[in-house]
């Protein structure tokens, strides 16, 4: 299903070297959780994320960000600002040697304040649409893939596609949630999560 507002970033030259990926939530996993982040100056990396992503890059494991974008649904900013923020993230990480291979996001909400974003969208986590779209695009086996998140909605989305799910104690640390989901593993942060994945 192609819905308005689903543009996908793919790193130029990205060609998956594996048939599985590590999916990352953005806020609270890669960057500090700032409630409703949309300003570039508020984007602040979680220090362990740099090393974690670099390790995945070195292991030639696809690194795919999947995030909900409530800031757009709430009309705090428009899609172009969200894209600017994501490009800022890509650039900041790249400058320090960490490459994001792709970014999928969902700006929809069934009760969005922005009338163009009102959709009960299957991409919005805990929906699985971003994961299945990425799997299709990059020929990934989701059952062999991993998702690292700080919210139960991330864990639930991963569980619903049979991925291995890891809850990190950064960001919301799973405490925000409206959903009930038990992760396969709990890790201190993205780096300990990645170390675990790469040790399997």
The residues that touch Mg ion, with contacts defined as CB under 5 A, are 25, 27-28, 150-151, 171
Q: Which does 16 bind (CB under 5 to 8 A by kind): Mg ion, Zn ion, none?
A: none
77 marked among binding-site residues: no
Query: Any catalytic annotation for residue 25?
Result: yes
Rounded to whole angstroms, the Cα distance separating 82 from 74 reads 12
Distance of closest approach, residue 188 Cβ to Mg ion, in angstroms: 16
Candidate segments 87-95, 115-123, 138-146, 170-178, binder of Zn ion by CB under 5 A: 115-123
Reported as type and span, the H/E element at residue 56 is: helix 47-58
Shortest reach from residue 40's CB to Mg ion, in Å? 18
**Beta-carbon neighbour count of residue 66 at 10 Å?**
27
Residue in this structure with the two tokens 């925000």, named with its chain if needed: 176
Separation CA 148–CA 42 (nearest Å): 22
Nearer to Zn ion, 10 or 118 (CB): 118
Chain residue whose CB lies nearest Mg ion: 28
- Residues found in the chain: 200
Tokens 């507002």 belong to residue = 5
Residue in the structure block whose two tokens are 């959780």: 33
| Beta carbon of residue 176, minimum distance to Mg ion (angstroms, whole number) | 8
Q: Report the chain's C-alpha Rg in angstroms.
A: 15
Please say which residue, 36 or 59, places its beta carbon nearer to Zn ion: 36
Among 56, 79, 102, 106, binds Zn ion (CB under 5 A): 106
| Residue 176 annotated among the catalytic residues of the structure | no
Q: How far is Cα 159 from Cα 165, in angstroms, rounded to an integer?
A: 7
Longest dimension (CA), the chain: 46
Q: Which stretch binds Zn ion (CB under 5 A): 22-30, 95-103, 114-122, 133-141?
A: 114-122
Catalytic (active-site) positions? 25, 27
In the annotated binding site for Mg(2+), the residues are: 25, 27, 150
């Amino acid at each position: 299903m192609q819905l308005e507002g689903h543009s996908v970033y793919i790193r130029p030259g990205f060609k998956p070297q594996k048939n599985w990926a590590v999916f990352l939530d953005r806020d609270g996993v890669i960057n500090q959780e700032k409630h409703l982040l949309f300003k570039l100056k508020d984007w602040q990396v979680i220090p362990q994320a740099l090393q974690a992503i670099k390790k995945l890059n070195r292991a030639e494991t696809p690194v795919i960000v999947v995030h909900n974008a409530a800031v757009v649904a709430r009309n705090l900013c428009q899609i172009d600002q969200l894209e600017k923020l994501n490009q800022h993230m890509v650039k900041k990480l790249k400058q320090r040697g960490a490459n994001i291979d792709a970014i999928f996001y969902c700006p929809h909400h069934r009760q969005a304040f922005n009338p163009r974003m009102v959709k009960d969208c299957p991409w919005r986590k805990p929906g699985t649409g971003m994961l299945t779209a990425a799997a299709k695009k990059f020929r990934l086996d989701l059952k062999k893939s991993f998702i690292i998140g700080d919210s139960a909605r991330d864990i639930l989305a991963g569980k619903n596609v049979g991925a291995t799910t890891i809850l990190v104690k950064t960001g919301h640390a799973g405490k925000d949630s409206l959903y009930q989901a038990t992760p396969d593993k709990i890790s201190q942060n993205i780096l300990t999560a990645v170390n675990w994945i790469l040790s399997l």
